[in-house]
């Protein structure tokens, strides 16, 4: 029996249909099962673009809750080059709004990418104008920008953050892990024609903000310190200046002022030298302020007493083939008079009575040659050589504040130790860390590092330092109605050209505390390279008085007698 032509064709068609179905079925299994994950990822890469945005950085406030650093929402502009038909025309429309050359914009828009930033964190008005233009393939999204409402106030402590929200300097850098907000991930979709479909509510998607910091700093005290410091630096034509105000009993920093100041809202045109926090990065020879710590060591070791007599060699003494001078031709004087008159010869003899090992041990105990461990970046150790590296005159030189390098923070911490009865406290600027809901995550409590001298020794030195202000080199630091304890310092700087001490470059300083009988404030004033009279008692002591007077009045500290004082913060 033969198969007819029509039946044969049907078999052939059935066979071909079966083969085709098998091929399609195999392909479907391959696509849907074997290559599903790979193809899905490939499709996502072609039709989706993942863009991440940082959450707002945490707020920074002073001890009373006044905002010092915050985030504001500003527009950022992006483009989707793969969806643009005429990048040149789009660039021409964008150029006058973004203030960017059209050629530069066109170059970005011609990239084979599904997402490019065109301008980050522009002015709100620019964002509104772009939305009105309604250009296809161009989008605007809101990003957080760091804003410092007080401008230069506390700028060297706060520091600043970068374009992508990372902390670069100051507290912003030190506490970046806490302040940094969480990332928000947004997926941009493209349809079959390559057009970008922006997620609904893209502008309203808000990622979790960072943690908030509360500082020990008082905004008003900081303002007083900066105002007085700036005026002094300008008036004396000084290179720079520093003021630190600390609570002796806790180590809390109430103010840390550095001049010249800078505005952290506009740092792009500045150099690192401008935003360096000189209070803890720059060392200087302290001069006669060191005599307070040398005196404390001598009293503690009982090599000197308040009744000890020291001969001033009539203002000139030779040590190691060099001559030490006093600014007065002093004869016999008591140990307290040596401090009051700031005798270099008396200090050198005191240091020699102690000996190199004991003096070195006490200088270390007072914190010199080591970091204070304050919670700020950039702090240096200072310079304190070990006795094995001392020359024949080093013992005498260090005793009067030469051949040693200190930071203003180290020196104010040392004087605060005497104000606190001989106990050294660790300085700090952040008191609390809270989450975005206000829940307390961390509280920083005062930390006593060590006892340096006895309470009796601290009280004796305090009485001696009061004499400096009432009848010595620091009379211009006196605050009416309050007992002030402090010490002046005038140090010659090293001339970089000769390597020796300069006859024209000085550092004038004053360090002390008030009220002497129950200290509320420990403070240092350092004026670097003032022109004209550079004595610490002339250039720095008056600043101590003006700042101390206003701060004590602001804090409501009662005085021994009634003196009417105008509050300098009235115009704040």
Confidence of residue 297 (pLDDT cuts 50, 70, 90): very high
**Alpha carbons 66 and 217: distance in angstroms, whole number:** 10
Q: Is the pLDDT of residue 451 over 60?
A: yes
Confidence of residue 572 (pLDDT cuts 50, 70, 90): very low
Mean pLDDT, residues 189-195: 51
Q: Which residue has the tokens 């912003």?
A: 172
Q: Which range is most confident: 75-84, 267-276, 323-332, 362-371?
A: 362-371
| Cβ proximity of 314 and 308 under 8 Å | no
Q: What are phi and psi of 194, to 5 degrees?
A: 85, 10
Q: What is the pLDDT of residue 12?
A: 67
Mean pLDDT, residues 479-506: 91
Residue 174, Cβ neighbours under 10 Å: how many? 21
Mean pLDDT, residues 243-266: 96
Range scoring the smallest mean pLDDT among 296-300, 318-322, 395-399 = 318-322
**Alpha carbons 568 and 572: distance in angstroms, whole number:** 8
Domain spans of the chain?
52-212, 219-262+277-571
pLDDT digits (tens, 9 = 90+) for 226-237: 999 999 999 999
SS3 readout for 48-77: EEEEEEECCCCCEECCCCCEEEEEEEEEEE
| Cβ proximity of 431 and 443 under 8 Å | yes
Q: What is the pLDDT of residue 34?
A: 61
| Cβ proximity of 100 and 109 under 8 Å | no
Q: Give the CB-side neighbour count of residue 45, counting CA atoms within 13 A.
A: 7
Helix pair angle (291-300, 408-419), 10° resolution: 40
Q: What is the pLDDT of residue 37?
A: 62
| Cβ proximity of 569 and 223 under 8 Å | yes
Which H or E element spans position 118? strand 116-119
pLDDT digits (tens, 9 = 90+) for 39-89: 555 555 445 555 555 678 899 999 999 999 998 777 778 888 877 778 888
- Comparing 563 with 42, the larger pLDDT belongs to 42
Q: What is the pLDDT of residue 105?
A: 83
Q: What is the pLDDT of residue 53?
A: 59
Q: What is the pLDDT of residue 25?
A: 67
**Alpha carbons 140 and 367: distance in angstroms, whole number:** 53
DSSP 435-450: -TT--EEEE----EEE
Q: Is the pLDDT of residue 567 over 50?
A: no
**Alpha carbons 149 and 496: distance in angstroms, whole number:** 40
Q: What are phi and psi of 239, to 5 degrees?
A: -70, -45
Q: Which among 509, 505, 510, 549 is positioned nearest to 529, based on CA atoms?
A: 505
Catalytic residue check, 288: yes
Cβ neighbourhood burial of 199 (10 Å; 0-12, 13-18, 19+): exposed
SS3 readout for 370-389: CCCCCCCCCCCCCECCCHHH
The 10 Å CB-count burial string (b at 16+, else e) for 9-42 is: eeeeeeeeeeeeeeeeeeeeeeeeeeeeeeeeee
Mean pLDDT, residues 292-297: 98
Q: Is the pLDDT of residue 35 over 80?
A: no
Q: What is the pLDDT of residue 530?
A: 96
Range scoring the smallest mean pLDDT among 77-91, 170-184, 191-205 = 191-205
Q: What is the pLDDT of residue 185?
A: 57
Q: How far is CA 550 from CA 105, 154, 453, 520, 547, in A?
A: 54, 18, 31, 13, 5
CA-based end-to-end distance of the chain: 116
Q: What is the pLDDT of residue 186?
A: 57
Q: What is the pLDDT of residue 191?
A: 53
**Alpha carbons 485 and 489: distance in angstroms, whole number:** 14
The rounded radius of gyration (Å) of the Cα atoms in the chain is 35
Q: Is the pLDDT of residue 564 over 50?
A: no
Range scoring the smallest mean pLDDT among 62-66, 352-356, 508-512, 566-570 = 566-570
Q: Which residue has the tokens 């989706």?
A: 48
Catalytic: which of 288, 399, 413, 431?
A: 288
Range scoring the smallest mean pLDDT among 149-158, 177-186, 193-202, 479-488 = 193-202
| Cβ proximity of 360 and 332 under 8 Å | no
pLDDT digits (tens, 9 = 90+) for 414-443: 999 999 999 999 999 999 999 988 999 999
The helix/strand/coil state of 454 is coil
Q: What is the pLDDT of residue 290?
A: 97
478: its two tokens: 């006196």
Mean pLDDT, residues 151-175: 91
| Cβ proximity of 332 and 311 under 8 Å | yes
Q: What is the pLDDT of residue 223?
A: 98
| Cβ proximity of 139 and 131 under 8 Å | no
* Average per-residue pLDDT for the chain: 87
Q: Give the CB-side neighbour count of residue 340, counting CA atoms within 13 A.
A: 16
**Alpha carbons 289 and 544: distance in angstroms, whole number:** 14
Q: Which range is most confident: 160-164, 420-424, 556-560?
A: 420-424
**Alpha carbons 430 and 410: distance in angstroms, whole number:** 18
Task: Enter the pTM of the model.
Answer: 0.82
Tell the CATH superfamily of the 52-212 domain. Penicillin-binding protein 2a (Domain 2) (3.90.1310.10)
Q: Is the pLDDT of residue 204 over 80?
A: no
Looking at 3.40.980.10, 3.30.1490.190, 3.40.710.10, 1.10.1040.50, the CATH number of the domain 219-262+277-571 comes to 3.40.710.10
Range scoring the smallest mean pLDDT among 146-155, 246-255, 563-572 = 563-572
**Alpha carbons 306 and 181: distance in angstroms, whole number:** 58
Calculate what percentage of the chain has a pLDDT beyond 90: 62
């Amino acid at each position: 029996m033969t198969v007819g032509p029509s039946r044969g064709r049907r078999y052939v068609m059935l066979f071909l249909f079966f083969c085709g179905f098998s091929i399609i079925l195999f392909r479907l299994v391959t696509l849907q099962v074997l290559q599903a994950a790979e193809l899905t990822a490939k499709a996502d890469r072609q039709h989706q673009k993942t863009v991440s945005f940082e959450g707002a950085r945490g707020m920074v406030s002073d001890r009373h809750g006044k905002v010092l650093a915050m985030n504001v929402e500003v527009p950022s502009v992006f483009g989707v080059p793969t969806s643009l038909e005429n990048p040149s025309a789009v660039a021409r429309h964008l150029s006058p709004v973004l203030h960017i050359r059209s050629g530069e914009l066109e170059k970005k828009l011609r990239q084979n990418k599904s997402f490019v930033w065109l301008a980050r964190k522009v002015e709100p008005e620019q964002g509104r104008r772009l939305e009105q233009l309604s250009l296809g393939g161009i989008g605007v999204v809101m990003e957080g920008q760091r804003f410092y409402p007080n401008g230069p106030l506390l700028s060297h402590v706060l520091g600043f953050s970068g374009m992508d929200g990372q902390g670069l300097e100051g507290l912003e850098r030190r506490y970046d892990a806490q302040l940094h907000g969480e990332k928000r991930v947004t997926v941009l979709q493209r349809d079959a024609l390559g057009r970008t479909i922006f997620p609904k509510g893209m502008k309203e998607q808000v990622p979790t903000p960072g943690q908030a910091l509360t500082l020990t700093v008082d905004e008003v005290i900081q303002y007083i310190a900066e105002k007085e410091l700036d005026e002094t630096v300008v008036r004396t034509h000084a290179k720079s200046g520093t003021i630190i105000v600390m609570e002796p009993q806790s180590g809390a920093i109430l103010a840390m002022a550095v001049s010249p100041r800078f505005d952290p809202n506009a740092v792009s045109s500045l150099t690192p030298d401008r935003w360096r926090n000189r209070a803890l990065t720059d060392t200087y020879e302290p001069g006669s302020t060191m005599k307070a710590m040398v005196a404390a060591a001598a009293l503690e070791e009982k090599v000197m007493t308040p009744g000890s007599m020291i001969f001033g060699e009539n203002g000139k003494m030779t040590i190691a083939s060099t001559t030490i001078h006093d600014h007065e031709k002093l004869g016999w004087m008591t140990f307290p008079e040596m401090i009051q008159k700031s005798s270099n010869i008396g200090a050198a003899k005191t240091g020699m009575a102690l000996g190199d090992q004991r003096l070195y041990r006490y200088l270390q105990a007072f914190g010199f040659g080591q970091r204070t461990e304050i919670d700020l970046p950039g702090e240096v150790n200072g310079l304190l050589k070990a006795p094995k590296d001392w020359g024949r005159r080093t013992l005498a030189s260090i005793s009067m504040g030469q051949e040693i390098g200190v930071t203003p923070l180290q020196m104010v911490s040392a004087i605060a130790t005497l104000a606190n009865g001989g106990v050294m406290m660790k300085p700090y600027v952040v008191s609390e860390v809270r989450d975005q809901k206000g829940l307390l995550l961390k509280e920083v409590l005062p930390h006593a590092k060590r006892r340096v001298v006895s309470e009796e020794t601290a009280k004796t030195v305090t009485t001696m330092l009061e004499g400096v202000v009432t009848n010595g080199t620091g009379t211009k630091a006196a605050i009416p109605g309050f007992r002030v304890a402090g010490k002046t310092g005038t140090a010659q700087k090293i001339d970089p050209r000769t390597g020796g001490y300069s006859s024209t470059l000085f550092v004038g300083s004053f360090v002390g505390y008030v009220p002497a009988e129950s200290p509320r404030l420990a403070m240092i004033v350092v004026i670097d390279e003032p022109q004209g009279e550079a004595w610490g008692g002339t250039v720095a002591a008056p600043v101590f008085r003006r700042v101390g007077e206003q701060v004590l009045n602001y804090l409501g500290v009662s005085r021994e007698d009634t003196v009417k004082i105008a509050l300098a913060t009235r115009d704040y």
